[in-house]
Amino acid sequence: MPTSEAGAVDLSYAIGLPPEEAIAYFESKGYAIGFKWQEVWAEAHARSFTVAGVLKLDVLTDVREALLQALQHGETLVDFQKRLQPVLEAKGWWGRGQIVDQATGEIQGKRLCPRRLETIFRTNMQSSYMAGRFQEQLANAEARPFWEYVAVLDNRTRPLHRSLHGRIFRYDDPFWRRFYPPNGWKCRCRVRTRSARDMERLGLDVSSSEGRMETVEQPIDRKGNTRPAPAFRDPATGKLFVADAGFGYNPGQAAYQPDLSRYPPELAKQYLQEQSAR
């Protein structure tokens, strides 16, 4: 993956125009206003667009539109910041510290700085690209039903992510509902699909998460507060794989809704019943 241009998206397939599904996913997000990222949790985050600390809807809209432009035109972090910084400066939202209404004393949010813009850019781009990839791979699951977890094996890779490298689960294994990448801040993992012929030719084995999915209490802040989080008990190591706090959900599946008008009524009804039972 080329890395010569500063700020380029750190995913091997995120070069050039993104999949149409990624743009559709991002456009489908509504708005959720929360002062801390913990207030917009996991799958709710997949269905809505939020920036921690931004309580003003017009500023949230500016950030969302800049991200959408970056997705549509295959832009880098540098392009994103160049477009957004003047807008934030004009509204008094660029820099550090909180925004306080001088008349009422009400905290309106926290200003945005280069480091926060990088986090916003990378997290949203990763989630959108992965949602697009998920939907593409799901559409081709009949031909390539075996999905392989692929980690970038360098000195920046988290040990737990590295431990899943090469592990293969069926596309409909519950593992993918919780641990389809990204699984953390700046996670570079991805998923490779394989056919039955690939599996036989390469002598690959299929894993299963049956009986190995657990729920743990995961710390979400420095005060010791916790939230329930999904975990996978790796039979190879005996260790629990837990995504970073705020992840542990599949952005594509959480936001994905098939066009039920294209399916027979009995299948559409079955789908809705299964979703409501989750």
For residue 177, pLDDT beyond 50 = yes
Q: How far is it, in rounded angstroms, from Cα 92 to Cα 100?
A: 11
Q: Is the pLDDT of residue 278 over 60?
A: no
% of the chain exceeding 90 in pLDDT: 26
- The tens digit of pLDDT for each residue in 72-121 reads 888 888 998 898 899 888 888 788 777 666 666 666 667 778 888 888 78
Of all residues in the chain, the percent with pLDDT exceeding 70 is 63
Residue 126 has pLDDT above 90, yes or no: no
For residue 56, the model assigns a pLDDT of 55
CB 231 within 8 A of CB 241: yes
Amino acid at 111: R
pLDDT digits (tens, 9 = 90+) for 33-70: 444 434 434 444 444 555 555 555 667 778 888 888 88
Domain locations along the chain: 20-125, 146-247
DSSP 95: S
